[in-house]
């Protein structure tokens, strides 16, 4: 019985009774002054109340005791409710539904809320995010500042250079210390130029001439495997040309190692020639009988002092409309196309019809260009113009040439034209205009 009463009092919400009982029972510091003793015992009672297992009987007693002694409660000093101590600010109109719960309404029964692991980790990720963004911003601004400083210096140096616009800078390609491939590798990767080179080289067929071939960066992109290439797409012969002897030497070495390493190129049995000299000069490359079926040039016009004359010469070297090809067996191509038309489905038919039509329509050979030059964006052109002299002096390339105008002035027929990279990269398929057959046939084949 006494035990039950004690339990009631322990769990009672009326602490002052528990105070005296506990003090007596446990022999607690009786020397404490009244108020301190009250505080000490109140804490003990609270602690017990929290740790006591809640059983149905204890709940019953608890209810009973609170009812029995409720009338004595007003004598006790109760802490005012938190909400009444600091009145919350009135909620802004319209967002009342989003107000966070007050401490009274949470399930913690007024106990101080602890920081949950979720909050701590979101605080940490905010800090990581904040410092990451700040660091990135700092590095980026430092990089942009250095670019700007370099640009300003180059503009000054460019202005001081004694170089006429579009002056002949081809001698820069004779510099032995330069490694052209290392210089351009990274920028070509960033601009995915290799895919564009491949696209161009895959169109080559018959007797093929590559002018301004440099170190031979396109060599491994041609269809040189006679077994796996359709008959109407095969390459019969290859001529590589460059004005720089050093470049031609490097191209030759590259071809030899490709033949050793690559099966497809090793299988190529056609003649391969390397010619040093200005391809614009009529004495350098002789026109084969029937002309070249395909002429390719990549990134060459930028380094030429007279690009229009150069393109006209390519037009002469190309197979003219109506001229009989010696690189492509026209009958074979037609028969091949017909055969496929009979055997295959619609898509293959469409593909081969295009090849057949090409010959039927008699447009002559193709001149394929991949060039770089002026943009179609104003501020990019301003940038190119401002340091064009400095760039030409260093790299032997005028990067602000108006390629479109050059092609227009050459008089060649534009079959297709595409521009990439803000218009600074040009891809052309050109055809000779014709009327050269007589002139061409008068010349002796090489």
Min dist CB 354 to ligand SAM, Å, is 27
Residue 355 per-residue DSSP state: H
Inter-residue contact 428 to 295 (CB < 8 Å):
no
Which of 242, 323, 336, 404 touches ligand SAM (CB under 6 A)?
Answer: 242
Dihedral of CA atoms 82, 84, 90, 91 in degrees, nearest 10, equals: 40
- Shortest Å distance, C-beta 217 to ligand SAM: 4
Q: What are phi and psi of 213, to 5 degrees?
A: -70, -15
**Residue 182: strand, helix, or coil:** helix
Q: How far is the CB of 150 from ligand SAM (least distance, A)?
A: 22
Q: Give, as ranges, the residues between 258 and 287 that touch ligand SAM (CB under 6 A).
A: 278-280
Give the Cα separation of 220 and 259 in Å (integer): 10
Question: Which residue in the set 213, 224, 355, 440 belongs to the binding site for ligand SAM (CB under 6 A)?
Answer: 213
Phi/psi-derived region of residue 223, left when phi > 0, alpha when psi is between -120 and 50, beta in every other case: beta
37, 38, 158, 173: which one binds ligand SAM (CB under 6 A): 173
Q: Which helix H or strand E contains 206, and what residues bound it?
A: strand 206-210
Residue span 290-329 as binding mask against ligand SAM, x where in contact by CB under 6 A, dash where not = --------xxx--xx-----x-------------------
Query: What is the residue whose two structure tokens read 């920081």?
Result: 115
If we measure between CA atoms, which residue out of 446, 413, 405 comes closest to residue 317?
446
CA dist 386 and 158 (Å) reads 7
Nearer to ligand SAM, 107 or 177 (CB): 177
Alpha-carbon gap, residue 387 to 400, rounded angstroms: 9
Min separation Cβ 322 and ligand SAM, Å: 28
Contacting range for ligand SAM; rule: CB under 6 A; set: 10-18, 140-148, 206-214, 334-342: 206-214
Segment interacting with ligand SAM, rule: CB under 6 A, options 136-144, 211-219, 221-229, 254-262: 211-219
The only residue of 62, 244, 337, 375 in contact with ligand SAM, by rule CB under 6 A: 244
x/- map, 126-165, ligand SAM, by CB under 6 A: ----------------------------------------
Phi, psi of 297, deg, nearest 5: -140, 130
Q: Which residues bind ligand SAM (CB under 6 A)?
A: 170, 173, 211-214, 217, 241-244, 247, 278-280, 298-300, 303-304, 310, 397
């Amino acid at each position: 019985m006494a035990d039950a009463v004690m339990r009631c009092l322990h769990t009672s919400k009326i602490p002052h009774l528990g105070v005296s009982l506990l003090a007596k029972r446990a022999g607690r510091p009786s020397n404490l002054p009244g108020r301190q003793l009250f505080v000490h015992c109140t804490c003990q009672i609270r602690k017990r109340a929290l740790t006591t297992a809640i059983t149905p009987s204890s709940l019953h007693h608890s209810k009973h005791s609170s009812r029995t002694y409720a009338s004595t409660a007003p004598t006790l000093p109760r802490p005012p409710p938190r909400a009444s101590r600091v009145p919350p600010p009135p909620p802004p109109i319209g967002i009342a539904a989003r107000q966070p719960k007050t401490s009274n309404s949470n399930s913690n029964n007024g106990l101080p809320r602890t920081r949950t692991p979720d909050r701590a980790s979101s605080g940490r990720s905010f800090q990581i995010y904040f410092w990451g963004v700040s660091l990135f911003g700092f590095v980026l601004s430092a990089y942009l500042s250095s670019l700007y400083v370099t640009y300003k210096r180059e503009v000054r140096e460019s202005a001081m250079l004694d170089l006429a616009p579009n002056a002949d800078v081809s001698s820069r390609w004779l510099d032995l210390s330069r490694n052209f491939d290392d210089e351009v590798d990274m920028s070509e990767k960033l601009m995915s130029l290799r895919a564009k080179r491949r696209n161009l080289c895959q169109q080559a067929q018959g007797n093929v001439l590559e002018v301004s071939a440099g170190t031979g960066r396109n060599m491994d992109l041609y269809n040189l495997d006679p077994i796996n290439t359709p008959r109407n797409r095969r390459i019969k012969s290859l001529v590589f040309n460059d004005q720089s002897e050093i470049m031609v030497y490097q191209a030759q070495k590259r071809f030899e190692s490709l033949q050793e390493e690559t099966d497809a190129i090793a299988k190529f049995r056609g003649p391969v020639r390397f010619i040093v000299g200005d391809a614009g000069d009529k004495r350098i490359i002789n026109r084969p009988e029937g002309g070249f079926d395909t002429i390719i040039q990549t990134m060459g016009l930028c380094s030429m002092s007279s690009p229009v004359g150069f393109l006209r010469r390519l037009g002469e070297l190309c197979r003219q409309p109506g001229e009989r090809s010696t690189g492509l067996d026209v009958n074979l191509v037609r028969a091949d196309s017909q055969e496929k038309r009979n055997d295959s489905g619609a898509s293959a038919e469409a593909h081969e019809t295009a090849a057949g039509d090409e010959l039927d329509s008699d447009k002559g050979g193709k001149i394929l260009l991949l060039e770089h030059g002026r943009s179609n964006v104003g501020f990019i052109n301003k940038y190119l113009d401002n340091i064009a002299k400095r760039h030409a002096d260093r790299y032997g390339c005028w990067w602000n040439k108006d390629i479109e105008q050059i092609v227009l002035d050459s008089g060649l027929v534009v079959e297709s034209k595409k521009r990439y990279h803000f218009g600074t990269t040009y891809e052309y398929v050109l055809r000779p205009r014709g009327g050269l057959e007589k002139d061409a046939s008068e010349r002796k084949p090489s």
